[in-house]
Structure 1
Amino acid sequence: GAEVEAGAEVEAGVETEPEARAGKGSKRCIASLLDITELKRKEDELRETCEKLTELDDMKREFLNVAYHEMRSPLAPIVGYASLLERCELPDKGRRYIQNIEQCAKELEKMINRMLELARIDSRKIKLNLKEFSLSEVVQEVVKGFEPEAAKKEQKISTVVSEVGEVIQADKQQVVAVFSNLISNAIKYTPAGGRIEIRVDRVEDRGEEVRCCVADTGIGIPAEDLPKIFERFYMVDTSLTRKSGSLGLGLSIVKEYVKLHGGRVWATSELGKGSKFFFIIPKRQR
């Protein structure tokens, strides 16, 4: 090792081992002193770097949280004024412009809300608001909200909810968000005239868990992309994703909400034939 100046303080480690040539029953051993000054210095530097990175990460989260709120603030008056203009006498072209403004503003608000939600998840500020509710009613409620969008593409949405999955204890708002994200994607990536099915049943070997599936007859997902689709900002490169203006956050929020409930999520797909998105959550939280 490097030479140490006389009188300098060093960090030392001690290693001991029995003396090989000592007789049976001997208590003699060999002790070695190791200069670990450099190792300790690097450990201290690494610890200091980790603390700085943690501080920077906290600052980044706080900044993004404030930025997302500030970005959302101007949207309310934009939507409000657009809604007021719709009540005025306008030519057809002007009315279409107003409708486009409202639609774009709502899409932007949806993106900002998703980013805010992920910021809340990262800061561990989200807690489960547990309530007992009918899963069948939640599914029907979400489907009803998407029926106009599906009707525009002449898509058929069907639901199959078994009685064993009727009542669960979970965070209703998060379960609604999970179904909403999955059904929204199914509609978006399924061509006109396609089918979407939502199925809820009991896990065969574990009766205390509920399995949900959102299946579609859409464009499908390449096999190499399937392991990555639940990562943040990851998007399968298709003409539809490029046109949608999506940030690739919906499925990552689905994954986080399912994890908060102690569940798991995955997908299967076949190009040109469709995709199936599954998630399993306990019927009751412990």
Structure 2
Amino acid sequence: MSNEASTELLPLGVAAAIAANKNPDFVCKPQAFNEFSMADRVALITGGNSGMGLEMAQVLLEAGARVVYTVDLPLEPSEAWTCVKDYIKKMGLGGRLEYVRGDVTDQKAMWAIGDLIGEKEGRLDVTIANAGIAGVGHDVAEYPAEDYSKVIDVNLKGVLYTAQAGVRQMEKFKMPGSIILNLNVIGYQTAKAGVIQMARDLACMLAPQGIRCNALSPGWVMTEMVKPYLTISEDVQKVWSAQSPMNRMAKPHEIRGAVLWLASDASSFCTGSDIVVSGGWHAWAG
């Protein structure tokens, strides 16, 4: 695939219909699914060993990505990760799922991972900062400094370091790309607000280079990281579910569509936005 966005290569929508009317040799075929194609694209996803990160990796591979590099803390990938790797092979799509151990709070290490991907693949099209840790369970007046610092380090600083890893490669290869900052709702709200503004700032700075940056704000998602908090009280899941008009928590796969849209050329005119997938929570919250 060319480094240019596919939307610049072929007329789409009504423009394609007009082109077909003027040129009898114009090949008439559906383009809608091609807009969502990730063919030959290379992606980096932090927190990709399980939960939403692993769902994101799988959907990009299903859409034709050449390879998705998942970065996480464990020395070895999880059983679920291995199942996804095998599943992709069984589908015969040709894409690869790779695992890299890394800490998003280590800026130089994240840059090195980006360099590794760039040297091996010759491109890096999509970078998703998904890694995050929970910021719940403390009374605000007693919130320990060390816990607060860790939340900020992972959920705010780590997001920037991940974005930098992707931007450095996109700039190196002079190609457009998509940066997605996932604002898991269990992240501490100060960090969450900071990431939204970070997405806006990066979008403005990187737009001239064809690099888009958007935030993704899911509601409560039933991931392995969230499940321990549901055991605190029988009412926790009921309360969290009731915060949405749909009266339930999301399943990880329900984030896939939004991620694929943001990663692909289908969202070529979307940057600096906060895409909310909250089951309607945001509608009630105002």
The verdict on a shared fold, with TM-score over 0.5 as the criterion, is no
Q: TM-score, normalised by structure 1?
A: 0.24
Q: TM-score, normalised by structure 2?
A: 0.24
